[in-house]
């Protein structure tokens, strides 16, 4: 059996909101293998984004002995600086609302990411890959949502990370565009062998993933493996 | 407004407390500066007004061509509306230091002191009627003659230490008239300071002008009015009813006074002046008579001359005296004289003419008497010399005799000693001599009898032997014969002639003979014994003999001694007689000479009386004549409070502050308004969602807007309250304090100015509330749904620069991003830029003012500056260019490098043709040598700094004068002083910073002023380098200082030099004051700039970060380190800072220029340029502020939570 690339062991995350304590993640345990397209599925507030944030080094888990391992490193123990390095070189993020920098062109939005990383891909190539070869000089405001999300994916990819984290990447997109994006992600996973984790509340797209982690109320409810994931084009929702 | 909304508003304030506070602070800053600076001028004026009211500063100053007396005052008081009329008088004189040197003012002219009369008795209780009152501060008012009080300003505030010392309580101030005897006008010229006072007449350093000395009034003391001898007052201080209701310096006040100023002269003066003229006429008549009586006294005094004069002269003199005597008979008294004033004066003049004619005789006598005196003296001295020679011979004889006597005395003494010694022996052996003589006689007798006996014996023996033989021969005859012989010697019995018998007898004779021989032998023995004794006594006898001889010698010696003594006595007698004679001679000489001297003195005295009194009398008579002539034209002159230089000065300063208040606070306020506007706009935009919700819920726009209105209004009101509270108190206080070293006005009460407060508050409320309302209503125009959607971030856009492709390509990626970000929010860009620019400009202005004030003296004095000489010596009497003798005093190798005679005089300049009609006090300087003048005083062009050279034909005026009079090269300036006046074309406008100096070559001066050869009254000195050590080891500096002090002492010891003032003394004193001012100004500006930079940058950065938190979170997620993330923002700030600093440095130049011109007083020109380091410091400090604020911002950027910031809007 392949070595697990990502391991969550007993990871919890509690938020203090005034007098209310919210347990966003509650003893989360799961594994993801390298090269897998993993889907974390759950309804709003199930804790899936929390898990993603912790995995992405954007948030820290409770210090109660929970462990997060990525590629043999325990990221919960990394210093702030190491965590930034980790974000810089290992992880690519795709957000629901793209979070492109509005004042930078598509190409520049990639460049701002690539100038940091160790072994980036050529931004124009990546943009071409996502089908935006002719929109490189456009500002985000001049792009449609789907195009923006593609720029966002391209930005994540251009850093050439081993791990791609996508938070509801289709959440703000219409069906067709969403499908397009998912296809792109699936293809990327298959063609480049990158590990991709997608967060979604849409259980209908579960079949496209290698691994599906279902969450409910901050806990991992169920993990299932698809030996034969379907193509995005083949599913409907 | 609902409760919920109200709660929401309060909560909004609590939640955004830092934003709330920052707006409050910036509003407070803006309002504080606006209100505070605006309040300075009215506050200063109010402080002065209250001071003037307390001490009843007069409104108008009257002077009259005929003076004033008590009746004038009463007449003035009788005018309806004239509340007070206080007469005053003064004399001006020169002050001398304790060492007898003429004291000097800062500008190097003679120190002119005004002695002002003040009725202290009246001051005690006479309330409102009196004007220009004095208020006692320390000590007491004068009680006794010869006491004075001085101004607190002079004794405590004045910047010149030595002046402060001069005016300390207990000190004596003595004053001497300048070409007049002050004792004609005042009782005494030495006054003891007994107290210090406040006076409203002199509230600044500038005291006005004087007729004495160099024309600059330098100090003043108040003495009892009773010290004055003159019978009139020179000034009348007028108080106008109702003037105290209008504040000093106000338009209202000017209006009140303007009306009165003309009315007093035009409507009221005529009768009062006429009455005065009538009284004057009487006085003049009295004076004329008094003078004529004085002339009468000449007669008696002139008589003293007669013995000195030769016969011819005596006759002439007698004739004059007779004429004078006759004239005197026309002297009239009282009313008669009054009617006859003109004749009295005329006769007086004639008499004076006669007196004048006596003058040559007096002079002759004055010249003759000493000669006669010398002659007589010489004669008598010769006699005395003879006596003295004789006396010397006598003394020689006496000395000889005395020596002889002494020798004899020595001899005698020696002999006497010997005699005494011998005598002692003689006395001890008093009997021995008798014995010896007796013994000797006896011995002689014994010897004689022995010899007789012996010869008898021998004869006996031979007779015997003959007898025997005869016997033997029996020659009876012979026996008989022998027997007879024998019988001669021996008692023989002659009868028995028998042989037997003979035999028997022979035998018997023989026995007898033997017996006798035995007896002889005994006698022989006795004689030998006696002889031995005699021999033993022999030395004594010899001594005795010697003694006898000595006795005789002693007697002889004594005789000789007595002889010598007699002769000595003779010599002594002669000597005594000689001495007596000599003394008598001398006494005679003394008494004769004294007599002669008395004559000379009498002559001198008369000459003196003539020299002194005649001109005095002439003057008085002339005055009388003039007065009589003037009486018909007698008139008043009137002046306003402008008469008091301090009043005007202070007003100007307060006015300058008004100009200040125009620029700075407005600048501040504008920025404050902009910042609050941005912040409030931001706040509204942040809450657009809520606006949408509320709008959707059906709240009216007004209700929704109220929250923001309330928020903004609260900040505006709170900020304004704080700003007003601090601004109205701190700023006027601080500035008033700073000015308190220049002005006497003792205290200022910070006042609340409703109008200023209302304007500031209004502006603050308007800008914040207006901003927020504008933003709210703009948002509220949108539909709720639109509002509830997040406002789309401002779209990225190509900027102009990108079209300049080569340039754009040249930029790094970060550069491009930064530039585009900068362009994205132009409002913020401009405001940050403006904030930094203002900060830098303020700093540059602050440093610049520091530079302008601080280096003014460096620019004025020093080897590279305007005044390149080191000191200035005042000459006791002026010299011409030809006079090289006097200049020898300044030939001091190793101490004085160069010396240049110069003529300096205070003059009045004006340029009526160019609209400058009033008189500006300038110092006119005419250096002897045109070619070396530049080494002493630089004549550099005011604008270009190029040396102009010094040529004949025009006047070189300083830049400030040119500026005040709006004069250009070639135009004409009027220079005047008293009767001398000239219009001279301007040859050059030269650089100068302190006072006004105008320069001319001697040729120009002589040409324009017709004064003959220029009389140089001062000498400029350049010291040897060894005396100019100001840096380096302390010992060296002190040595140089000591050397300078020594030079000063040495030079002023010379008769030619009255005083010596070093420029370094001025630099030291004024420098200390300027130093403080520089520091205060710098502190104010740095603090203001810092506050401005902080509030503006902090706020804008805050907003910037807040607006771009998502962007920042994104790049953090992308793996930007904290510092890299901060740099993402900083790059923009750095550019803005650099640009702002650059612009600020440019903006600071005109602001600095404006401030400097505003702050400049008339007699100074600050250095108007900025020093390179000013720019450097301004830039560096701004950068430091910027860096500090950015460092604060780093913490905020670091604290940005990626998760929170990127949370999807759900």
Q: How big is chain A by its Cα radius of gyration, in Å? A: 17
Give the global pTM: 0.62
For the record, the structure tokens of B17 come out as 């407390």
As a whole number, mean pLDDT of residues B825-836 equals 84
User: CA nearest A105 in B: which residue?
Assistant: B796
pLDDT in tens, B439-459: 888 888 878 888 887 777 777
A184 in a structural domain: yes
Q: How many domains does chain A have?
A: 1
Q: Which domain holds residue A175?
A: 4-230
Q: What is the ipTM score, two decimals?
A: 0.91
SS3 B341: helix
Question: Which among B792, B1120, B1206 has the least Cβ separation from residue A95?
Answer: B1206
Q: Tell me the β-bridge partners of A92.
A: A164
In sequence order, what are the residues at sequence separation of 6 or more whose Cβ sits closer than 8 angstroms to the Cβ of residue B138? B152, B169, B195, B196
Q: What share of chain B is helix, strand, coil (3-state, %, to 5)?
A: 65, 15, 20
What's chain B's average pLDDT? 82
pLDDT of residue B194: 94
A236 in a structural domain: no
Is the Cβ of B1115 closer than 8 Å to some Cβ of chain A? yes
Provide the shortest C-alpha distance from residue B693 to chain A (in Å): 22
Count CB pairs under 8 A between chains A and B.
91
A206 in a structural domain: yes
d(CA A58, CA A87): 8
pLDDT of residue B530: 80
pLDDT in tens, B363-395: 777 777 777 778 878 888 888 888 888 888 888
Question: Would you say residue B1176 has pLDDT above 90?
Answer: yes
Q: Which residues of A touch B796 (CB under 8 A)?
A: 101-105, 139-141
Contact yes or no for B578/B394 (Cβ under 8 A): yes
pLDDT of residue B89: 92
A121 in a structural domain: yes
pLDDT of residue B907: 85
d(CA B148, CA B170): 10
Question: Would you say residue B8 has pLDDT above 60?
Answer: yes
d(CA B1029, CA A133): 79
pLDDT of residue B569: 87
Q: Tell me the β-bridge partners of A222.
A: A214
Contact yes or no for B59/B40 (Cβ under 8 A): no
As a whole number, mean pLDDT of residues B393-409 equals 85
Q: Residue B797 — pLDDT band, cuts 50, 70, 90?
A: low
Q: Tell me the β-bridge partners of B697.
A: none
For the record, the structure tokens of B145 come out as 């003659």
Is the Cβ of B622 closer than 8 Å to some Cβ of chain A? no
Question: Parallel, antiparallel, or unpaired: how do β-strands B82-88 and B217-224 relate?
Answer: unpaired
d(CA B430, CA B147): 98
**Angle ∠(B55,B57,B63) on CA atoms, nearest 5:** 140
Handedness of CA B742, B748, B750, B753 (dihedral sign): negative
Question: Parallel, antiparallel, or unpaired: how do β-strands A4-17 and A20-33 relate?
Answer: antiparallel
As a whole number, mean pLDDT of residues B1142-1169 equals 83
In sequence order, what are the residues at sequence separation of 6 or more whose Cβ sits closer than 8 angstroms to the Cβ of residue B899? B887, B890, B891, B1019, B1020, B1021, B1022
Q: Which residue has the tokens 């701004």?
A: B1182
Question: Would you say residue B1208 has pLDDT above 60?
Answer: no
Question: Would you say residue B1188 has pLDDT above 70?
Answer: yes
pLDDT of residue B1059: 73
Closest CA to B1095 of B719, B663, B731: B719
Q: Residue B160 — pLDDT band, cuts 50, 70, 90?
A: low
Is the Cβ of B816 closer than 8 Å to some Cβ of chain A? yes
pLDDT in tens, B1068-1087: 656 766 776 677 677 777 87
Q: Which residues of B touch A100 (CB under 8 A)?
A: 1114
Question: Which among B796, B817, B1119 has the least Cβ separation from residue A139?
Answer: B796
d(CA B878, CA B887): 11
Q: Residue B40 — pLDDT band, cuts 50, 70, 90?
A: confident
pLDDT in tens, B604-622: 777 777 777 777 777 777 7
pLDDT of residue B125: 46
Q: Quick check: A139 and B1118 CB within 8 A?
A: no
Q: Residue B123 — pLDDT band, cuts 50, 70, 90?
A: low
Q: Higher model confidence: residue B787 or residue A213?
A: A213
CA dihedral B921, B926, B927, B932 (to 10 degrees): 90
Is the Cβ of A53 closer than 8 Å to some Cβ of chain B? yes
Q: What share of chain A is helix, strand, coil (3-state, %, to 5)?
A: 35, 30, 35
Provide the shortest C-alpha distance from residue B859 to chain A (in Å): 54
Chain A 159-218, residues with CB within 8 Å of chain B CB atoms: 159, 167-168, 171
Is the Cβ of A78 closer than 8 Å to some Cβ of chain B? no
Question: In angstroms, what CA-CA distances link A100 with A111, A155, A198, B795?
Answer: 12, 9, 19, 11
Question: Would you say residue B247 has pLDDT above 90?
Answer: no
d(CA B820, CA A144): 22
Phi, psi of B870 (to 5 degrees): -105, -20
A207 in a structural domain: yes
Q: Which residues of chain A have pLDDT under 50?
A: 1
Closest CA to B1154 of B661, B668, B756: B661
Q: Quick check: A81 and B821 CB within 8 A?
A: no
Is the Cβ of B792 closer than 8 Å to some Cβ of chain A? yes
Every domain of chain B and the residues it spans? 1-57+644-651+658-792, 58-283+633-639, 825-860+1064-1210, 871-1027
pLDDT of residue B117: 92
Is the Cβ of B1120 closer than 8 Å to some Cβ of chain A? yes
As a whole number, mean pLDDT of residues B187-200 equals 91
State the DSSP string of B744-793.
----------HHHHHHHHHHHHHHHHHHHHHHHHHHHTS-HHHHHSPPPP
Provide the shortest C-alpha distance from residue A78 to chain B (in Å): 14
pLDDT of residue B59: 92
Question: Would you say residue B1097 has pLDDT above 50?
Answer: yes
Handedness of CA B420, B421, B422, B427 (dihedral sign): positive
SS (H, E, C) B223-261: EEHHHECCCCEEEEEEEECCHHHCCCCCHHHHHHHHHHH
pLDDT of residue B493: 63
Is the Cβ of A101 closer than 8 Å to some Cβ of chain B? yes
Q: How big is chain B by its Cα radius of gyration, in Å? A: 61
Q: Quick check: A93 and B1118 CB within 8 A?
A: yes
pLDDT of residue B779: 78
pLDDT in tens, B726-777: 989 888 888 788 777 778 888 888 888 898 899 888 888 888 888 788 878 8
Question: Which among B796, B824, B1121 has the least Cβ separation from residue A140?
Answer: B796
d(CA B802, CA B820): 9
Contact yes or no for B711/B66 (Cβ under 8 A): no
As a whole number, mean pLDDT of residues B97-103 equals 73
Q: Which residues of B touch A95 (CB under 8 A)?
A: 1206, 1208
pLDDT of residue B301: 75
Is the Cβ of B1204 closer than 8 Å to some Cβ of chain A? no
Q: Quick check: B816 and A167 CB within 8 A?
A: no
A235 in a structural domain: no
Choosing among A22, A99, A117, A168, which should be mutated to test the B contact, i.e. which has the most B CBs within 10 A? A99
Helices B17-54/B645-686 angle, 10° precision: 160
Q: Which residue has the tokens 């709720």?
A: B784
Q: Which residues of A touch B1210 (CB under 8 A)?
A: 44
pLDDT in tens, B280-335: 888 777 777 787 887 777 777 777 777 777 788 888 888 888 888 888 877 777 77
User: CA nearest B1209 in A: which residue?
Assistant: A97
pLDDT of residue B780: 77
Q: Quick check: A111 and B813 CB within 8 A?
A: yes
Provide the shortest C-alpha distance from residue B1117 to chain A (in Å): 7
User: CA nearest A90 in B: which residue?
Assistant: B1119
State the DSSP string of B27-63.
HHHHHHHHHHHHHHHHHHHHHHHHHHHHTT--SEEEE
Provide the shortest C-alpha distance from residue A1 to chain B (in Å): 32
Element (H, E) at A113: helix A106-114
Determine what percent of chain B is predicted with pLDDT higher than 70.
Answer: 94
CATH number, domain containing residue A129:
3.40.50.300
């Amino acid at each position: 059996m392949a070595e697990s690339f990502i391991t969550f062991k007993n990871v919890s995350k509690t938020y203090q909101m005034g007098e209310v304590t919210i347990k966003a993640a509650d003893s989360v345990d799961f594994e993801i293998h390298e090269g897998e397209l993993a889907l974390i599925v759950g309804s709003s507030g199930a804790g899936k984004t929390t898990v993603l944030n912790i995995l992405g080094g954007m948030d820290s888990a409770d210090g109660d002995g929970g462990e997060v391992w990525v590629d043999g490193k325990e990221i919960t123990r990394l210093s702030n600086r190491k965590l930034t390095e980790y974000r810089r070189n290992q992880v690519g993020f795709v957000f629901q609302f793209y979070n492109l920098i509005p004042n930078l062109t598509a190409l520049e939005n990639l460049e701002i990411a690539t100038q940091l990383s160790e072994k980036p891909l050529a931004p124009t190539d990546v943009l071409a890959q996502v089908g935006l070869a002719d929109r490189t000089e456009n500002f985000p405001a001049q792009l449609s949502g789907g195009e923006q999300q593609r720029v966002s994916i391209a930005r994540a990819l251009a850093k050439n990370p081993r791990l791609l984290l996508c938070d509801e990447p289709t959440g703000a997109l219409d069906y067709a565009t969403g499908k397009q994006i998912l296809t792109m992600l699936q293809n990327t996973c298959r063609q480049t062998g990158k590990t991709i984790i997608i967060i979604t509340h849409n259980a209908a797209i579960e079949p496209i993933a290698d691994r599906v982690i279902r969450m409910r109320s901050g806990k991992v409810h169920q993990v299932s493996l698809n030996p034969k994931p379907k193509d995005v084009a083949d599913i409907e929702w | 407004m609902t409760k919920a909304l109200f709660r929401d508003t309060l909560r909004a304030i609590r939640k955004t407390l830092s934003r709330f506070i920052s707006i409050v602070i910036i509003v407070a800053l803006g309002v504080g500066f606006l209100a505070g600076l605006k309040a300075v001028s009215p506050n200063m004026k109010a402080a002065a007004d209250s001071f003037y009211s307390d001490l009843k500063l007069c409104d108008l100053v009257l002077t009259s061509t005929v003076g004033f007396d008590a009746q004038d005052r009463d007449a003035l008081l009788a005018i309806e509306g004239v509340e007070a009329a206080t007469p005053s008088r003064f004399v001006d004189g020169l002050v001398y230091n304790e060492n007898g040197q003429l004291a000097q003012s800062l500008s190097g002219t003679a120190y002119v002191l005004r002695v002002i009369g003040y009725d202290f008795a009246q001051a005690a209780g006479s309330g409102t009627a009196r004007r220009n009152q004095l208020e006692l501060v320390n000590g007491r008012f004068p009680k006794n003659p010869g006491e004075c009080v001085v101004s607190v300003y002079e004794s405590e505030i004045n910047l010149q230490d030595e002046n402060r010392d001069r005016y300390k309580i207990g000190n004596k101030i003595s004053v001497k008239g300048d070409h007049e005897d002050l004792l004609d006008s005042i009782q005494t010229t030495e006054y003891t300071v007994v107290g210090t006072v406040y006076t409203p007449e002199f509230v600044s350093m500038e005291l006005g002008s004087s007729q004495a000395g160099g024309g600059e009034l330098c100090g003043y003391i108040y003495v009892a009015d009773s010290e004055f001898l003159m019978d009139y007052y020179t000034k009348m201080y007028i108080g106008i009813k109702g003037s105290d209701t209008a504040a000093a310096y106000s338009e209202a006040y000017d209006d009140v006074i303007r009306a009165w100023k003309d009315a007093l002269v035009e409507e009221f003066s005529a009768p009062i002046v006429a009455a005065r003229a009538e009284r004057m006429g009487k006085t003049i008549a009295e004076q004329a008579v008094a003078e004529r009586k004085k002339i009468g006294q000449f007669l008696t005094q002139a008589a003293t001359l007669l013995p000195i004069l030769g016969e011819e002269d005596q006759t002439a003199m007698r004739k004059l005296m007779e004429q004078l005597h006759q004239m005197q008979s026309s002297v009239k008294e009282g009313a008669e004289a009054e009617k006859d004033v003109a004749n009295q004066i005329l006769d007086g003049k004639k008499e004076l003419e006669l007196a004048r004619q006596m003058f040559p005789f007096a002079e002759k006598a004055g010249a003759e008497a000493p000669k006669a005196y010398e002659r007589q003296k010489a004669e008598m001295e010769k006699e005395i010399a003879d006596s003295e020679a004789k006396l010397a011979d006598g003394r020689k004889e006496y000395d000889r005799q005395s020596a002889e006597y002494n020798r004899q005395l020595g001899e005698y003494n020696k002999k006497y000693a010997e005699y005494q010694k011998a005598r002692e022996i003689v006395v001890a052996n008093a009997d021995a001599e008798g014995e010896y003589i007796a013994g000797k006689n006896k011995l002689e007798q014994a010897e004689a009898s022995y010899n007789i006996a012996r010869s008898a014996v021998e004869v006996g023996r031979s007779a015997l032997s003959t007898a025997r033989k005869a016997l033997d021969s029996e020659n009876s005859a012979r026996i008989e014969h022998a027997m007879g012989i024998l019988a001669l010697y021996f008692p023989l019995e002659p009868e028995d002639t028998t042989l037997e018998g003979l035999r028997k007898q022979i035998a018997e004779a023989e026995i007898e003979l033997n017996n006798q021989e035995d007896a002889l032998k005994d006698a022989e023995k006795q004689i030998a014994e006696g002889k031995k004794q005699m021999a033993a006594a022999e030395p004594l006898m010899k001594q005795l003999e010697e003694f006898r001889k000595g006795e005789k010698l002693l007697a002889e010696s004594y005789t000789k001694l007595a002889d010598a003594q007699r002769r000595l006595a003779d010599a002594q007698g002669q000597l005594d007689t000689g001495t007596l004679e000599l003394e008598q001679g001398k006494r005679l000489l003394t008494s004769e000479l004294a007599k002669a001297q008395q004559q000379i003195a009498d002559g001198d005295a008369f000459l003196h009386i003539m020299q002194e009194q005649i001109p005095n009398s002439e003057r008085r008579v002339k005055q009388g004549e003039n007065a009589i002539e003037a009486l018909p034209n007698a008139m008043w002159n009137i002046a306003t409070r402008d008469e008091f230089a301090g009043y005007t000065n202070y007003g100007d300063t307060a006015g300058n502050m008004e100009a200040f208040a125009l620029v700075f606070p407005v600048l501040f306020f504008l920025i404050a308004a902009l910042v609050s506007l941005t912040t409030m706009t931001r706040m509204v935009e942040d809450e657009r969602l809520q606006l949408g919700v509320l709008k959707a819920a059906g709240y009216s726009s007004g209700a929704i807007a109220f929250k923001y209105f309330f928020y903004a209004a609260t900040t505006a009101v709170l900020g304004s309250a704080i700003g007003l509270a601090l601004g109205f108190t701190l700023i006027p206080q601080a500035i008033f304090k700073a000015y308190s070293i220049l002005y006497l006005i003792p205290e200022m009460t910070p006042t609340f100015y409703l109008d200023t407060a209302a304007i500031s508050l209004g502006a603050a409320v308007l800008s914040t509330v207006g901003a927020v309302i504008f933003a709210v209503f703009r948002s509220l125009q949108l539909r709720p749904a639109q509002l509830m959607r997040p406002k789309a971030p401002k779209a990225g856009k190509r900027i102009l620069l990108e079209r300049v492709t080569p340039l754009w390509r040249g930029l790094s990626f970060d550069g491009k991003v930064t530039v585009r970000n900068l362009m994205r929010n132009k409002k913020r860009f401009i405001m940050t830029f403006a904030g930094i620019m203002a900060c830098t400009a303020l700093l540059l202005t602050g440093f610049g003012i520091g530079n302008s004030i601080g280096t003014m003296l460096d620019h004025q004095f020093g080897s590279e500056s305007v005044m390149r000489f080191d000191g200035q010596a005042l000459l006791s009497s002026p010299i011409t260019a030809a006079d090289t003798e006097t200049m020898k005093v300044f030939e001091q190798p190793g101490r004085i490098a160069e010396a240049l005679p110069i003529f300096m005089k205070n003059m009045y300049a004006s340029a009526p043709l160019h609209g400058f009609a009033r008189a500006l006090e300038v110092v006119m300087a005419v250096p002897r040598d045109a070619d070396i003048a530049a080494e002493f005083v630089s004549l550099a062009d005011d604008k270009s700094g190029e040396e102009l050279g010094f040529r004949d034909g025009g006047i070189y005026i300083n830049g400030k004068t040119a500026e005040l009079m709006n004069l250009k090269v070639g135009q004409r300036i009027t220079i005047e002083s008293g009767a001398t006046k000239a219009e001279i074309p301007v040859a050059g406008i030269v650089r100068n910073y302190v006072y006004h100096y105008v320069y001319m070559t001697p040729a120009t001066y002589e040409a324009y002023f017709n004064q003959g050869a220029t009389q140089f009254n001062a000498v400029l000195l350049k010291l040897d380098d060894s005396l100019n050590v100001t840096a380096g080891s302390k010992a060296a500096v002190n040595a140089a200082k000591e050397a300078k002090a020594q030079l000063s002492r040495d030079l002023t010891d010379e008769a030619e030099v009255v005083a010596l003032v070093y420029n370094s003394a001025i630099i030291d004193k004024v420098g200390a004051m300027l130093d403080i001012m520089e520091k205060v100004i710098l502190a104010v500006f740095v603090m203001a700039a810092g506050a401005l930079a902080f509030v503006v940058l902090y706020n804008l950065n805050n907003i910037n970060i807040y607006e771009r938190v998502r962007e920042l979170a994104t790049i953090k997620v992308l793996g930007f380190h904290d510092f890299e993330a901060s740099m993402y923002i900083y790059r923009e700030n750095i550019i803005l800072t650099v640009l702002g600093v650059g612009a600020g440095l440019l903006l600071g130049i005109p602001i600095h220029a404006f401030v400097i011109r505003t702050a400049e007083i008339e007699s100074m020109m600050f250095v108007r340029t900025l020093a390179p380091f000013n720019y450097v410091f301004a830039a560096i400090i701004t950068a430091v502020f910027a860096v500090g604020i950015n460092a604060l911002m780093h913490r905020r950027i670091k604290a940005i939570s990626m998760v929170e910031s990127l949370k999807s809007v759900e």
